[in-house]
Chains A and B, each alone.
Chain A
Amino acid sequence: AQTVTQSQPEMSVQEAETVTLSCTYDTSESDYYLFWYKQPPSRQMILVIRQEAYKQQNATENRFSVNFQKAAKSFSLKISDSQLGDAAMYFCAYRRHNTDKLIFGTGTRLQVFP
């Protein structure tokens, strides 16, 4: 069975600084997708970034980028120039190709200090 592990329950960063959130996963599949979701206090999950496993190039969305290490089964999220609005729970998620079920990690709470 696939599993997703986020080993950092909480992280903090100063405004304008960079922070990296860790995620590892376990799968025997070769074709899959990985995601980072943000959950603010409003509870609504928002997709931050997505990575297809067959792509070697790391995904980037503005201040958000990932470090995808397929062999190591690692998928970390880097937030550059952190802003107060980045404060939220961040969840790493996995989806096997040709399925729709998302498998989530337990989340990392990110605090941003001015």
Chain B
Amino acid sequence: GAGVSQSPSNKVTEKGKDVELRCDPISGHTALYWYRQSLGQGLEFLIYFQGNSAPDKSGLPSDRFSAERTGGSVSTLTIQRTQQEDSAVYLCASSSGQGGEQFFGPGTRLTVL
């Protein structure tokens, strides 16, 4: 596809379960970003990938959060032992390189019951 895609669109899980969120960036984009948008809040930066490496993971809120990127393309954000405060929309963006315009996907809405 032409844009950034994310799956699933919505995810409902029970407290304590692990979840995986997927991001497919625009083809050829080397930079990939994850943000979290809690209800009524702006977007909060989580992690940035350049290629397969993550030079900035300063926004990950706890060690329950991890992310990886393989083949310089698809990225997976994993949340272990989910808590209710993890409920939010998780947005992914990609860009053609450092400083380039970030193009966003439609997000995954995560609800932890």
> Which residues in A have some Cβ–Cβ distance to B below 8 Å?
4, 6, 42-47, 50, 91, 93, 98-107
A101 touches B59 (CB 8 A): yes
**Contacting A101 at CB < 8 Å: which of B42, B56, B105?**
B56
Question: What residues of A have a CB within 8 angstroms of the CB of B59 in the complex?
Answer: 101
Question: What residues of A have a CB within 8 angstroms of the CB of B95 in the complex?
Answer: 100
B106 touches A102 (CB 8 A): no
**Contacting A107 at CB < 8 Å: which of B42, B45, B48, B58?**
B42
Nearest-Cβ distance from residue B9 to partner chain A, whole angstroms: 9
Give the bracket for the number of chain B residues in contact with chain A: 20 to 34
Q: A101-B48, A102-B102 are in contact. List 19 more A-B contacts (CB 8 A).
A: A43-B109, A45-B43, A45-B93, A45-B104, A47-B101, A50-B101, A91-B42, A91-B43, A93-B43, A98-B98, A100-B33, A101-B59, A102-B33, A102-B43, A104-B35, A104-B42, A104-B43, A104-B44, A106-B40
Interface of A, secondary structure class, is: loop
Top 3 A-B residue pairs of the complex, sorted by shortest distance between their CB atoms: A104-B42, A45-B104, A104-B43
Write 7 A-B pairs (CB below 8 A) sorted by A numbering: A43-B91, A44-B104, A91-B42, A100-B98, A102-B45, A102-B102, A107-B41
Cα distance, A93 to B31, chains bound together (Å): 18
Say if the beta carbon of B99 comes within 8 Å of chain A. Answer: yes
Question: What residues of B have a CB within 8 angstroms of the CB of A91 in the complex?
Answer: 42-43
B99 touches A100 (CB 8 A): yes
Cα distance, A102 to B105, chains bound together (Å): 15
Cα distance, A113 to B93, chains bound together (Å): 31
Say if the beta carbon of B89 comes within 8 Å of chain A. Answer: yes
Q: Answer whether A100 and B48 are a contact pair too, CB < 8 Å, given A43-B91, A43-B107, A45-B91.
A: yes
CB closest chain-A residue, reference B58: A101
